[in-house]
A and B are shown apart, each in its own frame.
Chain A
Amino acid sequence: MKYVDEFRDGTVARGLAAAIARDADPAREYHLMEFCGGHTHAISRYGLKDLLPANVQMVHGPGCPVCVLPIGRIDNAIEIASRPGVILCTYADTMRVPASKGLSLLKAKARGADIRMVYSSADAVRIARENPGREVVFFAIGFETTTPPTAVAIRAAKAEGLANFSVFCNHVLTPAAITHILESAEVRDYGTVPIDGFIGPAHVSTVIGSQPYEYFAEEYARPVVIAGFEPLDVMQAIRMLVRQLNDGRAEVENEFARAVTRDGNAKAKALVAEVFELRRSFEWRGLGEVPYSALAIKPAYRDFDAEARFGIAYRSVADNKACECGAILRGVKKPTDCKVFGTVCTPENPIGSCMVSSEGACAAHYTYGRFKDVAIVPASA
Chain B
Amino acid sequence: MSGVRTGYVRPVDFKHGCVDLTHGGGGRAMAQLIEELFQRAFDNEWLRRRNDQAAFDLPAGRLVMSTDSHVVSPLFFPGGDIGCLSVHGTINDVAMAGARPLYLAAGFILEEGYPLAELKRIVESMAAASKQAGVPIVTGDTKVVEKGKGDGVFITTTGVGVVPAGVEISGDRARPGDRILVSGTMGDHGVAIMSLRENLSFETTIRSDTAALHGLVAAMVEAVPGIRCLRDPTRGGLATTLNELASQSGVGMVISEAGIPVRPEVDAACEFLGLDPLYVANEGKLVAICAPADAERLLTAMRAHPLGRDAALIGEAIADPHRFVQMDTRFGGRRVVDWLTGEQLPRIC
Contact = CB atoms under 8 A, between A and B. Distances in A.
Given A118-B199, A119-B199, A119-B200, A371 B330 contact: no
Given A1-B264, A96-B342, A347-B341, A48 B320 contact: no
B44 interface: no
Nearest to A231: B331
Interface stretch (B282-290, B299-307, B321-329): B321-329
Interface stretch (B2-10, B107-115, B332-340): B332-340
A354 to B, nearest CB: 14
B319 A371 contact: no
The secondary structure that dominates the A interface is helix
Contacts of B338: 366-368
Contact of B319 (A45, A96, A378): A378
B322 A47 contact: no
A44 B329 CA distance: 12
Interface in A337-381: 347-348, 366-371, 374, 376-380
A379 B199 CA distance: 47
B252 interface: yes
Interface stretch (A6-14, A80-88, A132-140): A6-14
A371 B332 contact: no
B271 interface: yes
A117 B200 CA distance: 11
A160 to B, nearest CB: 19
B250 interface: yes
A123 B199 contact: yes
Contacts of B331: 8-10, 13, 46-47, 231
Contacts of A231: 331
A51 interface: yes
Nearest to A368: B335
A28 B129 CA distance: 68
A4 B269 CA distance: 13
B316 to A, nearest CB: 14
Nearest to B270: A1
B333 A51 contact: yes
Interface of B: 176, 199-200, 250-252, 264, 267-268, 271, 273, 319-322, 324, 326, 329-336, 338, 341-342
Interface of A: 1, 4-5, 8-10, 13-14, 44-48, 50-51, 95-96, 117-120, 123, 231, 347-348, 366-371, 374, 376-380
